[in-house]
Chains A and B, each alone.
Chain A
Amino acid sequence: MMKSRELPAGEINKMIRVSSISGPSSSTAKGRDIRFAGSRFGWHKLPWKKLSLHVGLVAILMLAIPLFVAISEPGSTPVLASSDWSGVTQAVAAEAVTPAATPAATTDTAAGDAASKELIPAPQPEAKDYPNIGVSSRSVVWIVAQLHLYFGAFVLAVPIFVLLIEWIGVKTGDSRYEAMAHEFMKISATAYAITSLLGGTLAFALFLLYPDFMGYMMRVFGSQTLVYAALFFSESIVVYLYYYSWDALRYGNAKWAHLTLGLLVNVVGLTLMVMSNAWATFMMAPSGVNEVGAVTGNIWQILKGPLWNALNLHRFIANIAFGGAVVGAYAAYRFLSSKTPEEKAHYDWMGYTANFIAILSFLPLPFAGYYLMAEVYAYSQTMGITAMGGILAWLFIVQAVLIGAILLAGNYYLWSGMSRTEGSERYQGYIKYIAFVLVTSFLVWITPHTLILSPAEIRLLGGANHHILGVFGIMPAKNIAVNLMLIFTFLSFQLFRRADKVAVVSWERAGNALMVTIYAVAVFNVVFAGVYYGYFTNTLYKVGSSVMQVASTLTVIISGIILDTYLYKGARILPSHWGKVTNRSQYALFALPVAFTWLMALMGYVRSSVRTHWHVNNIMRDNSPDNFIPAIGYAGNMMTIVTILFIAMVLFVFWVSTLSEKKQLPPESSGQEVGQ
């Protein structure tokens, strides 16, 4: 207790207040003990800030250098871009095992022989080589892989915004940020063990059910898999250090050490993500190997396939949106089960922040998806058409329904959340117009181009396409709809953010006029580009003008954020009543992760299915009983099963997280004793 005199009373009160929200692991007494134990070792005397910055810099370089090398290194030639080599693969494979067929064999002496021995083609297993465990091997791997991906995405994404929230807490001195970041991290740390278990199960399942394929992947990626394992150990260490040292490294320079730990969690986590992404992209678009799968390049050439960076970007953004949605559901769960107004206020604010993260990171996600699909088309038109123009095309209608559900739920939460702010009545009149645009765009987006029709139905319809609705079935209409939905979602978001503020700057009128005209011209630009270039010019313009539309939407988002930052500098803040929000709005927070989960399963199915009957596209053929694209109905059932399993497991994680806050009361003095 002697040490407590070193802290100002305000600091102690702040610590107590924060600790009381953060659960028993950081209870007041415990938190104080840890803090003072740290002081006894003289941690506070170390130059933490400088050390933190140095460690942080090294950590960033750990990720940046390999990525830079990977991106800049030339010569990563993708294998077999656009044609189907199925007919020649076997023949070439047969030749490849013969030394005379390898380039190395053209040189004389033993060196040539040694080189030729290293060029081992990919195995070509037959149906009998796949173990049969009585159930579909693909289904087993499908479920486990998808669950692992969900949890992996969640535990890698949460520390990204936890670090940001913690840093905001340090900068603003508002202890609520600290408490919220700590609580988010508690959920992530609880989910971390499940992620590891699912990863182990997935590895066992793959090695058991697809031994030849896994043997080949091990040969291709070699010691990189051990690096991955080492990084996983590192991630486990820094995640738990980050979470459990929260109270021990709370103030002053020690806080910077804690922030550095958070940075390390993210650096290692992102490295893990991009490394495992390379396995998926290698299967889709292999590089660093020759036509028969023999390794010819180095590890960077193998990692840096043509789809790697596109998938990295897409998953990075998607993970944050997904993580935000899941912790939003946690906040809603806690809000609905809260008993006191203080708890309701805390979890209402937490839900709002989670929704903010999910929606804001979701807005650029379609563009990252567009980039990924553009790269897929650039690599192989056949693959692109399989995804978006063939059997899987209908899934993009389902995708539209799910994304529409996400946007409608996100908007509904924002509209409903406005009611807690006294200044919201200024903007509530606009909601009906935003809702009209969103619903109309949603209906255009889900309009299919072609339908499976009987001859009689075609006669009734007057052709394969409806004479009016048919024009809404093609990409230009979808592009208009998507961009309008994003622009108007951002409008909801902006009105929500403005609801509790009154600008006091002299140029308020000019600023608002500029914002309104940016919206108006951007909407006109999106519609004009879609209609004129989409319907009245050639395909080249149709594709090129979609970039104009994306740029228009991004202009609205970026200019809106910048303008509001300056327009509301020193603004008068109107009272907000946190906790006074409808329960319905919390159900919208539940809808978000359900739709996200289903959506990830759906698009994972599409991404994986474009390989059709190949384990590794055009190199290693899938000869198992499951070597076909599963029917949409079957896939739909699988996705639903996986989604339900994930939601159940996440609810378990939520429950376990709250369990640590509960304490059993001591036995009553009425004679009851433990064990009786």
Chain B
Amino acid sequence: MNLNNPVVVWLGAIAVTVLFFYGLDHIIMSMQGLPLNMNLTPAQ
């Protein structure tokens, strides 16, 4: 992987960050017994 290529750097940064926040959201909501419920329907 070429870290001098801006496209690689930015795509890599976005991928890492999105995955991290998705995992964080998932863990936090699971701890409260709530699935993420991302299908935009009213949660039960």
Contacts and interface: CB of A to CB of B under 8 A. Distances in A.
| A and B bind | yes
Interface of A: 507, 509-510, 513-514, 516-518, 520-522, 525, 529, 532, 536-538, 540-541, 544-545, 547-548, 551-552, 555
A552 B21 CA distance: 8
Contacts of B6: 509
Contacts of A544: 28-29, 32, 34
Contacts of A555: 20-21, 24
B40 A536 contact: yes
Contacts of A552: 21, 24
Interface of B: 3-4, 6, 9-10, 12-14, 16-18, 20-21, 24-25, 28-29, 32, 34, 37, 40, 42-44
Given A510-B9, A544-B29, A555-B24, A517 B17 contact: yes
B18 to A, nearest CB: 6
A540 B21 contact: no
Contacts of B37: 537, 541
A513 B10 contact: yes
A425 B23 CA distance: 37
5 contacts: A513-B13, A518-B17, A520-B17, A537-B37, A552-B24
B3 A510 contact: yes
B35 to A, nearest CB: 10
Main secondary structure, interface of B, reads helix
Instruction: Identify the 3 closest CB pairs spanning chains A and B, nearest first.
Output: A513-B13, A517-B17, A537-B43
Given A521-B17, A521-B18, 8 more contacts: A509-B6, A514-B13, A516-B13, A520-B17, A537-B42, A538-B42, A538-B44, A555-B24
A9 B42 CA distance: 75
Contacts of A517: 10, 13-14, 16-18
Contacts, number: 66
Contacts of A532: 40
A540 B25 contact: no
Given A544-B32, A547-B32, A555-B24, A510 B12 contact: yes
Contact of B29 (A520, A522, A548): A548
Contacts of B17: 514, 517-518, 520-521
A537 B41 CA distance: 8
A538 B41 CA distance: 10
A547 B27 CA distance: 11
A525 B40 contact: no
B31 to A, nearest CB: 8
A536 B29 CA distance: 16
B34 A540 contact: yes
Contacts of B21: 521-522, 525, 552, 555
Contacts of A509: 3-4, 6, 9
A541 B35 CA distance: 9
Contacts of A521: 14, 17-18, 21
Nearest to B42: A537
A513 B15 CA distance: 11
Contacts of B42: 536-538
A547 B29 CA distance: 8
Contacts of A540: 34, 43
Q: Which of A510, A516, A518, A552 has the most CB of B within 10 A?
A: A510
Contact of B28 (A510, A514, A538, A547): A547
B41 to A, nearest CB: 9
A507 B2 CA distance: 11
Nearest to A514: B13
Contacts of B18: 517, 521
A669 to B, nearest CB: 75
B12 to A, nearest CB: 7
A548 B22 CA distance: 10
Contacts of B44: 538
Contacts of A525: 21, 25
A510 B7 CA distance: 11
B25 A507 contact: no
A73 to B, nearest CB: 25
Contact of A541 (B13, B24, B34, B40): B34
Given A522-B21, A538-B42, A545 B29 contact: yes
A548 B28 CA distance: 6
Contacts of A536: 40, 42
A60 B42 CA distance: 50
Nearest to A555: B24
Nearest to B25: A548
A541 B36 CA distance: 9
Contacts of A538: 42-44
Contacts of B32: 544, 547
B43 A541 contact: yes
A510 B21 CA distance: 18
Contacts of B28: 544, 547-548, 551
Contacts of B13: 510, 513-514, 516-517
Contacts of B20: 555
